[in-house]
Amino acid sequence: MFGVATISPSAPAGPLASVPALLAFSAEPLAHLRPLDIAVIAIYFAMVIWIGFYLKGQSDTGEQFFMAGREMTAWIAGLSFVSANLGSLELLGWAGSAYQYGILATNWYWIGAIPAMVFLGLVMMPFYYVSKTHSVPGYLDLRYGGEARTVAAIAFATEMILMSGVNMFAMAIVMKVVLGWDINFSIIVSSVAVALYVGLGGLRSAIFNEVLQFVLIWGGALLVPILGLYQAGGWTGMQSKIISNLHSDSYFHLWRDTGSFASNPMGVHWTGIVFGLGFAISFGYWTTDFLVVQRVLAAHNLRAARMAPIIGSFFKMATPFIVILPGLLGLVLLQNSDGSRRQLVGADVVAACTASSTGQPLDPAGCSAAMAKTNLSPETQQKVLSGAPDSELHDYNQALPLMMVRYLGPGLLGLGITALIAGFMSGMAGNVSAFSTVWTYDIYRPLIHKNATDKHYVLVGRLSIVIGVVVSIGAAYLVQQFHGIMDYVQALFSIFIAPLLAAIMFGMFWKRATRMAGFLGLFTGILFSAGLFVWVKLNPAKLAIVALSPDAKPMAENVFRALWAFCFSAIVIIVVSLLTKPRPVAELDGLVYGATKLPTEEWVPFYKREWFWATAVGIIFVVLNVMVW
């Protein structure tokens, strides 16, 4: 019995136990794979490596290796775009968050993604695409110059490698909890597979596998909500059971309880959700994070590049069905062997109640104190303290695996586990392929070796994937020594992404933004954001200032920190731009709105136009939000 370190992107950073201590404990895994399950997983690995070898011959030039030859269709680019994001932190973390917070967690899929994805397709994509940049730092280079590019490239490359390590570690620890697999085995096998298929086939191989992984994730995970809803008596049955069990209907409202920080379990306010999450974080991630933008840049023409994020947005809107719904269903369906409701708890409580070989907690007093802060019944607490059979605690992040084990027999369980592995690997492949491009084109070429041949840069790209994976493995082991890995991931992500958004937005939509302003806005914005993070880390009471309320919880800090960092960078860019000399408008062709003549696209019927599908996305988005208001 031990807890997975908090991996949910939404989970507040609570008091986490030492990860090494958790890992040292040998526990009974949640599931046992049969030969059929092993065969399903082995076939998946064989397929992804085969694809890598098959595509090796189509990845000889820089354009082919780093940009997949820019010949992906809108569907392939769009599915790859969402799949690269559907990594380890998504499937398990958000199912756990839904168990904790209810449907409020869906905001991270809807307002926290859809408007930004549509905006990328309709408004921003033409500038990225027409400029023919290889990367987002590359766009900054064209727009502002080398200083902004270097800051963005170094920050991004560092973030990618560390994120990849976190992905790897998250996968390994889940495999240990669910299947009892050795941590080292999981890390080595998954990283070698990713290094092989991305190193051989470049971005094309990463994209192919991401599309494959997307299909597998849905094929493996879709059964859980279908069977869960059937058993719970449909949506209304689930709703009435949750209200009856938890005496609250707030689990089913997306916006109703966000009028104050204290009235919802996440401790967030709607202003933070709309402006911090819906704008600063979401637009920062979906429109400027090269991990996802790279997939769209590989599209075969401008129309496909504009359609890809819009196609992706339909699937993103549907993802809560396989992620959020299993978490909600877990609230009513997960049972102990005696038929009583199984309640999941935080990883810190699971760690505090780590059992000895007799089944009783190693530290009964600590366990008792930790359980006192939960809503576990006195009977359950007594069972845990006495080490009764089937009394082990499970943490929120185990909601999805527990639901899988409940419904999936041999073969199907293998498919479900393959879906999890595919999610982990698509995230990791996205990290290393984006790292390779940024390292080669935005760091190595301008700063280390300027005028080498195309062949040389492809070789550097292949080597950087291998080196990137090795560094990621090091980062994965580092995470084992680090308390609270999500703190670390979220810090990296939110520190960097909001200032980058400000630099890109002003660069793309304001002709007056100058070279010095772009660099200073980005650089000082990163310092400001990092400063806010450190300030609250050193003195948690300052959260009330950052998030504007004494009732705010750490999730509110993330969204408000991103918002303040964007505002800070925006002010720096505006002030410095007004004090420095702008570039002539003629130099901004292809880079800035109002200075660019966009190419005319061939006529297509209305149902093939991006505006038509963007409108459809908008209508569905509004209807869904109103339905669960």
Binding site for another protein (CB under 8 A): 34, 36, 39-40, 43-44, 47, 51, 54, 58, 71-73, 76, 208, 211-212, 215-216, 219, 223, 227, 230-231, 405-412, 415
Query: Could you tell me the two tokens for 565?
Result: 């960092």
CB of 406 to another protein, least distance (A): 5
Specify the residue, 12 or 228, whose C-beta has the smaller distance to another protein: 228
Closest distance of CB 362 from another protein, Å: 28
Q: How far is the CB of 212 from another protein (least distance, A)?
A: 6
44 vs 396, beta carbon nearer another protein: 44
Distance of closest approach, residue 580 Cβ to another protein, in angstroms: 47
Closer residue to another protein, CB minimum distance, 168 or 419: 419
Minimum distance of another protein from residue 450's CB (angstroms): 34
Please spell the DSSP secondary structure of 606-617, one letter per residue: GGGSHHHHHHHH
Q: Which residue's CB is nearer to another protein, number 43 or number 622?
A: 43
CB 202 within 8 A of CB 65: yes
Q: Whose CA is closest to 350, among 110, 12, 14?
A: 14
Q: Judged by CB, which is closer to another protein: 76, or 591?
A: 76
Helix pair 454-480, 412-437: axis angle to 10 deg:
120
Q: Residue 72 or 498: which CB sits closer to another protein?
A: 72
Contact between residue 4 and residue 397 where contact means Cβ atoms under 8 Å apart: yes
| Shortest separation between residue 58's beta carbon and another protein, angstroms | 7
Closest C-alpha among 145, 197, 142, 66 to residue 589: 142
Q: Which two tokens mark 102? A: 């209810």
Residue 163 contacts by C-beta under 8 Å, 6 or more apart in sequence?
A: 427, 431, 489, 492, 493
Residues 325/229, Cβ–Cβ less than 8 Å: yes
Contact 629, 256 (CB under 8 A): yes
CB contact at 8 A, 396 and 8: yes
Sign of CA dihedral 62, 64, 69, 70: negative
Q: How far is the CB of 340 from another protein (least distance, A)?
A: 16
Rg of the chain over Cα atoms, rounded to whole angstroms, equals 24
Tell me which residue of 358, 387, 52, 395 sits closest to 199, measured CA to CA. Answer: 52
Please state the closest distance from residue 242 (CB atom) to another protein, in A.
Answer: 19
Nearer to another protein, 28 or 581 (CB): 28
Which is closer to another protein, CB of 103 or CB of 232? 232
